[in-house]
Structure 1
Amino acid sequence: MTGFQALATGTAALQDLDPYRFPAALIDGQPESASTAGAFMDTGDYLLPAPDPASRLSAPLAPADRRRLELHAALTTAGVTPLPGDLDAIEALCTLDDTTHAVLRRWINHTM
């Protein structure tokens, strides 16, 4: 293949699309009538308003809870999925002090 090859356009290309993966594709030659997220809502449904930052609770997290969130974030960033048995180890690691916990996160993220 040399140069730029234009993709097939028109209804022939759109009919090959999976309607579940591409909901706006043509179905039976007609565009789908519901093409926005709001159109898929039931009559009793409504969009929730954006949260108001002033109405948040000001209760601080316990240090172990904060460390647990930070450890889960570090594992997620590194692409590590904890297995169900790993949750006990994560709970034990969260009881360590902040310095040890910072080193643990640095090891997970491979940063210096």
Structure 2
Amino acid sequence: MNSPATVLPTPDRDADADFLLPLPDPEQRLDVAPPAHSLLTPRDRHRLSLNATLTTAGIPPHPDDIEAIDALSALDDTVALAVQRWLISRPAALLG
């Protein structure tokens, strides 16, 4: 980085005043590119999403549920999204 050091303002602690930080320097930004492709298969993404959705809905997956979650994860994106939508929208209705 060839830019001069950034000087941050010193807050006036006696005045209990807020202070603004300087604008970010575009020259100091990192060049971080997203990965070209995901390392997860669609089945892995569905499994992770289903586990997260169940937990968020207050239904933590039980160890005996692995086969059911695996079977649901093998279905296509449309079915996986529908199941997640059902769990998010009405978890109390599903529990009775």
Using structure 1 for the length normalisation, give the TM-score. 0.46
Identical-residue share of aligned pairs (%): 45
Shift of 1:97: 0.5
User: Equivalences for 1:59-98 in 2 at 5 Å?
Assistant: 59-60=37-38, 61-98=40-77
Moved over 4 A (4+): 54-59
The residue that corresponds to 2:86 in the other structure is 107
The residue that corresponds to 1:34 in the other structure is none
Q: What letter is aligned with 2:76?
A: D
Instruction: Work out the CA distance in 2 between the residues paired with 1:59 and 1:102.
Output: 21
Instruction: Pick 1 or 2: higher relative contact order, CA cutoff 8 A, min separation 6.
Output: 2
Q: What letter is aligned with 2:77?
A: D
Shift of 1:73: 1.2
SS in 2 for 1:79: coil
Using structure 2 for the length normalisation, give the TM-score. 0.53
Shift of 1:77: 1.0
Tell me: CA distance 1:99–1:56, structure 2 relative to 1, closer, same or farther (3 Å). Answer: closer
Tell me: CA distance 1:63–1:85, structure 2 relative to 1, closer, same or farther (3 Å). Answer: same
- Report how many aligned residue pairs link the two structures: 60
